[in-house]
């Protein structure tokens, strides 16, 4: 019986030990699962989400141990990634508008270049022809007026003779305009107030028949600096533009001349505003082309291209904005 008791005791002990080992293992497994596997699993889930571009942070960070450190490092990394991604998104969004802006600038530069090239080559051609035409035209005018004053001239031919003089006069006016156009580049500049040029121009045009029913208003900035300019050329530009404005308001209207300073851009501006017929959008591009005119035989279409050349040689710019049926604004800028 002693032996069987000992055996029994041994068996019990073995069973107890096995049971102990099993329960310790179970505890260990459960502990590992809750302390290591679950957080690692969560981390994995978060990493996958971040990989898909879903910025979720780990909210419950296990305190103290290595896993806690790992979670913190993970959150830091996600934060930085998120910031970078946001910056890139912002960049991508502005990139498109920036590209658009640059493309527009380049296009504008191209038209300006194209226009000046056209003007330059046309200028040379025109100067040559105009010069050659001047002498024979003067001859025609002189001889026609000699004939018209001659008592031998039949009274019935008088009208024809006057027509010759009138038409020759028109030709010579066109030739003069062409020469002005070609000469736009050599000028004599001095510092002058732009308001003086405007006043002189208004005095010239206000008694013109085109301006009979037009109210002319001035709004000058009194503190405008003087501008380096060729006064007669600038006056020519102003005459062209004011006459255009007058012709755009056959039923009458208002012509407003405004000056101002744009110190940050380093220029002054002169706005010539009318309440006339306006310009259709498809014509805006062609306005400054030599010989573009909608006035038939009443216009040569050189006014604005001459003006363009003059303002360009002063380092300035001309801008147009127009509303059909409401009016047109020409803005000339000149560098200080």
Ligand X SMILES: Nc1ncnc2c1ncn2[C@@H]1O[C@H](COP(=O)(O)OP(=O)(O)OP(=O)(O)O)[C@@H](O)[C@H]1O
**Spatial separation of the C-alpha atoms in residues 212 and 209, rounded to whole Å:** 5
Q: Are 243 and 210 in contact (CB under 8 A)?
A: yes
Interaction with ligand X in 145-184: which residues (CB under 6 A)?
Answer: none
Burial tier of 283 (Cβ tally within 10 Å: 0-12, 13-18, 19+): middle
Minimum distance from CB of 287 to ligand X (Å)?
Answer: 5
Residues forming contacts to Mg ion in the complex (CB under 5 A) are 244, 303
The answer to whether residue 253 forms part of the interface with ligand X (CB under 6 A) is no
* Residue 205 lies near ligand X (rule: CB under 6 A): no
Q: How many residues does the chain have?
A: 336
**78 or 307, CB closer to ligand X?**
307
Nearer to ligand X, 214 or 287 (CB): 287
240 in contact with ligand X (CB under 6 A): yes
In terms of CB distance, is 67 or 248 closer to Mg ion? 248
Q: Of 78 and 247, which CB lies nearer to ligand X in the complex structure?
A: 247
Interface region with ligand X, contact rule CB under 6 A, candidates 103-111, 163-171, 201-209, 299-307: 299-307
Select from ligand X, Mg ion, none the partner in contact with residue 302, using the beta carbon and a kind-dependent cut-off of 5 to 8 Å: ligand X
Using CB atoms within 10 Å of the CB of residue 304, give its burial: 0 to 12 exposed, 13 to 18 middle, 19+ buried: buried
Smallest separation (angstroms) from Mg ion to the CB of 241: 8
Hey, which residues between 33 and 62 contact ligand X (CB under 6 A)? none
In the bound state, the residue with its beta carbon closest to Mg ion is 303
Tell me the chain's radius of gyration from C-alpha atoms.
44
Q: What angle do CA 21, 25, 27 make, to 5 degrees?
A: 120
Gap between the terminal Cα atoms of the chain: 126
């Amino acid at each position: 019986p002693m032996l069987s008791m000992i055996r029994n005791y041994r068996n019990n002990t073995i069973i107890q030990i096995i049971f102990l080992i099993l329960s310790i293992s179970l505890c260990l497994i459960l502990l590992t699962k809750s302390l290591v596997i679950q957080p690692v699993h969560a981390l994995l889930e978060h990493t996958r989400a971040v990989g898909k571009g879903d910025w979720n942070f780990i909210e419950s960070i296990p305190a103290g141990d290595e896993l806690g450190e790992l979670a913190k490092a993970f959150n830091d990394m996600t934060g930085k990634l998120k910031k970078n991604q946001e910056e890139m998104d912002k960049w991508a969004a502005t990139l498109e508008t920036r590209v658009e802006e640059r493309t527009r600038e380049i296009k504008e530069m191209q038209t300006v270049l194209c226009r000046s090239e056209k003007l330059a080559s046309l200028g040379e051609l025109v100067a040559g022809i105009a010069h050659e035409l001047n002498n024979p035209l003067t001859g025609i005018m002189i001889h026609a007026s000699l004939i018209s004053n001659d008592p031998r001239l039949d009274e019935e031919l008088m009208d024809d003779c006057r027509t010759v003089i009138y038409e020759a006069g028109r030709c010579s006016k066109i030739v003069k305009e062409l020469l002005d156009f070609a000469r736009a580049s050599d000028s004599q500049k001095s510092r002058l107030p732009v308001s003086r040029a405007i006043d002189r121009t208004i005095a010239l045009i206000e008694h013109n028949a085109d301006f009979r029913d037009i109210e002319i208003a001035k709004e000058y900035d009194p503190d405008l600096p003087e501008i380096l300019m060729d006064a007669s050329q600038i006056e020519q530009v102003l005459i062209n533009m004011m006459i255009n404005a007058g012709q755009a308001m056959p039923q009458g209207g208002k012509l407003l001349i405004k000056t101002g300073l744009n110190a940050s851009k380093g220029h002054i501006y002169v706005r010539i505003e009318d309440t006339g017929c306006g310009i259709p959008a498809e014509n805006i591009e062609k306005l400054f082309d030599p010989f573009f005119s909608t006035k038939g035989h009443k216009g040569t279409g050189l006014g604005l291209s001459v003006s363009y050349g003059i303002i360009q040689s002063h380092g300035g710019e001309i801008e147009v904005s127009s509303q059909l049926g409401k009016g047109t604004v020409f803005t000339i800028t000149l560098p200080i």
